[in-house]
């Protein structure tokens, strides 16, 4: 049996994701797929719009046999850590033959060339990179300029500005560094760009769909000058009928303002409380934190109003919005640089936790149990045998999920469901 691994967020699930699943099976010749999906927080440094179990259920309804959760320490990390965590999980399952990811360029060999350069860091490339960093450029821009100089290819700007290309490079780099036997393929992203804010025919970005759902069904929303009426949920869902599978429409309808939407603004007071407990020195311990950002957070602490407003306030030429948002999420979820170093030394992901499966997914779980070098978790009550490192990673996952659930409880006045009580989704 040939198995392809898919690394996803499904935030929320849409036709582009369905295309990715179908095309991945086609181009790799795989018999089936295993999905690794971000939990309740995503790579851009934000909570997922809806809980992980709902997103997993839609993926299963769309035909995915098995959905595993990417631990939160990796799910809300930079592209490098996100890829490192997902690849380590898939490789340690012991049964994955290849991965397949979407990219804007669709050119695997170009992405592989860039990945190997950034992994090996030839002396000339490193000199360009260090010079660019010293000039005040942020790391992404410094790397982009260094690659362009090293390869003498000005067209790389477009390649290195696209988020899925960047993630693709990091997937290939992670496989290369681990000397992994897993193969890799890419398929060209269809129609919509990652950051597109407007719906496109048939294949829209998750960003555009989230934007449409943001205030659906609310009575009034303030613009800069006057209030205006927002579309009813039924109108929004009608517009989404050709953008997402029927199962997703049903979930969006049944759980709207019951279990979703969830946004960074919903965590504002929680972050404000956490910030009040921190010092300039303690902030430096968190993942992705720099001395400059720690100083800016302390200096502007009294100017905090909301999560998003604070990100905008702290942003500089060197500190991007996404970088700041991820740092703030790491502070809120207590994810420290030392934690990621510990996990890296231990081989990456310490377990594979099942979010949901279809009937045929049971065979895949049996295969994982046979070949995997990490435990397969189906019940939180049966994790006593985990290593101390794995227990630490799992506690972070549980805390992050319980915090997310607390926000839902407060926002929609729903009963709190402890992570121990969350049921695996079966379709």
Whether residue 20 is annotated as binding a ligand: the answer is: yes
Whether residue 164 is annotated as binding a ligand: the answer is: yes
Residue with the two structure tokens 């997402």: 244
Model pLDDT, residue 191: 57
Whether residue 96 is annotated as binding a ligand: the answer is: no
pLDDT band at 34 (very low <50, low <70, confident <90, very high): very high
Selection from 424, 410, 408, 372 nearest residue 92 by Cα:
372
Task: Kindly report, residue by residue over 50-77, the tens digit of the pLDDT.
Answer: 999 999 999 999 999 999 999 999 999 9
Whether residue 426 is annotated as binding a ligand: the answer is: no
Report whether pLDDT(195) > 60. Answer: no
Full set of structural domains in the chain with CATH: 3-114+166-191+339-426 (3.40.50.620), 115-161 (no CATH), 206-255 (no CATH), 264-337 (no CATH)
Whether residue 14 is annotated as binding a ligand: the answer is: yes
Whether residue 19 is annotated as binding a ligand: the answer is: yes
Task: Kindly report, residue by residue over 219-239, the tens digit of the pLDDT.
Answer: 434 344 444 456 788 998 999
Model pLDDT, residue 194: 52
Whether residue 277 is annotated as binding a ligand: the answer is: no
pLDDT band at 199 (very low <50, low <70, confident <90, very high): confident
pLDDT band at 216 (very low <50, low <70, confident <90, very high): confident
Model pLDDT, residue 189: 85
Weakest-pLDDT range from 181-195, 230-244, 391-405: 181-195
Whether residue 16 is annotated as binding a ligand: the answer is: yes
Mean pLDDT (whole number) for 126-152: 90
Whether residue 49 is annotated as binding a ligand: the answer is: no
pLDDT band at 140 (very low <50, low <70, confident <90, very high): confident
Whether residue 12 is annotated as binding a ligand: the answer is: yes
Mean pLDDT of all residues in the chain?
A: 92
Task: Kindly report, residue by residue over 306-355, the tens digit of the pLDDT.
Answer: 999 999 999 998 888 999 999 999 999 999 999 999 999 999 999 999 99
Model pLDDT, residue 212: 87
Q: Measured between alpha carbons, how far is residue 148 from residues 119, 135, 161, 171, 176 in Å? A: 16, 16, 12, 20, 22
Whether residue 17 is annotated as binding a ligand: the answer is: yes
Q: Which residue has the higher pLDDT, 111 or 214?
A: 111
Q: What's the CA gap between 337 and 341, in Å, rounded? A: 6
Q: Which residue has the higher pLDDT, 189 or 29?
A: 29
Mean pLDDT (whole number) for 207-215: 86
Selection from 151, 163, 161 nearest residue 110 by Cα:
151
Task: Kindly report, residue by residue over 256-309, the tens digit of the pLDDT.
Answer: 999 999 999 999 999 999 999 999 999 999 999 999 999 999 999 999 999 999
């Amino acid at each position: 049996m040939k198995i392809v691994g898919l690394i996803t967020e499904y935030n929320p699930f849409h036709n582009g994701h369905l295309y990715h699943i179908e095309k991945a099976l086609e181009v790799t010749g795989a018999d089936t797929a295993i999905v690794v999906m971000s939990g309740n927080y995503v790579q851009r440094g934000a909570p997922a719009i809806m809980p992980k179990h709902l997103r997993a259920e839609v993926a299963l309804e769309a035909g995915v046999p098995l959905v595993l959760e990417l631990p939160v320490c990796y799910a809300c990390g930079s592209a490098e850590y996100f890829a490192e965590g997902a690849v380590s999980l898939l490789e340690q399952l012991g049964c994955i033959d290849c991965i397949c990811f979407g990219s804007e360029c669709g050119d695997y060999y170009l992405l592989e060339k860039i990945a190997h350069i950034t992994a090996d860091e030839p002396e000339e490339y490193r000199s360009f990179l260090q010079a660019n960093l010293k000039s005040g450029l942020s790391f992404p821009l410094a790397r982009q300029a260094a690659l362009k100089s090293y390869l003498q290819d000005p067209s790389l700007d477009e390649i290195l500005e696209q988020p899925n290309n960047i993630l693709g490079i990091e997937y290939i780099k992670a496989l290369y560094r681990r000397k992994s036997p897993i193969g890799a393929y890419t398929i060209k992203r269809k129609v919509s760009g990652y950051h597109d804010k407007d719906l496109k025919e048939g294949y829209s970005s998750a960003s555009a769909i989230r934007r449409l759902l943001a205030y659906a069904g609310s009575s009034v929303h303030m613009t800069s000058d006057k209030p205006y009426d927002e579309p009813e949920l039924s109108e929004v869902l009608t517009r989404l009928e050709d953008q997402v599978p029927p199962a997703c429409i049903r979930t969006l309808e049944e759980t709207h303002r019951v279990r979703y939407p969830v946004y960074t603004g919903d965590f504002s007071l929680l972050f404000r409380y956490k910030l009040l407990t921190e010092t300039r020195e303690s902030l430096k311990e968190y993942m992705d934190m720099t001395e400059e950002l720690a100083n800016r957070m302390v200096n502007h602490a009294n100017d905090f109003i909301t999560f998003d407003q604070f990100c905008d306030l702290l942003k500089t030429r060197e500190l991007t919005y996404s970088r700041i948002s991820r740092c703030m999420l790491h502070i809120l979820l207590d994810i420290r640089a030392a934690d990621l170093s510990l996990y890296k030394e231990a081989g990456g992901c310490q377990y594979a936790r099942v979010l949901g499966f279809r009937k045929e997914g049971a065979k895949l779980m049996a295969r994982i149990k046979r070949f995997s070098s990490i435990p397969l978790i189906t019940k939180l009550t049966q994790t006593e045998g985990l290593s101390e490192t794995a227990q630490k990673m799992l506690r972070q996952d549980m805390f992050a999920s319980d915090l997310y659930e607390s926000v839902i409880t407060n926002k929609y006045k729903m009963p709190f469901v402890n992570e121990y009580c969350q049921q695996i989704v079966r379709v």
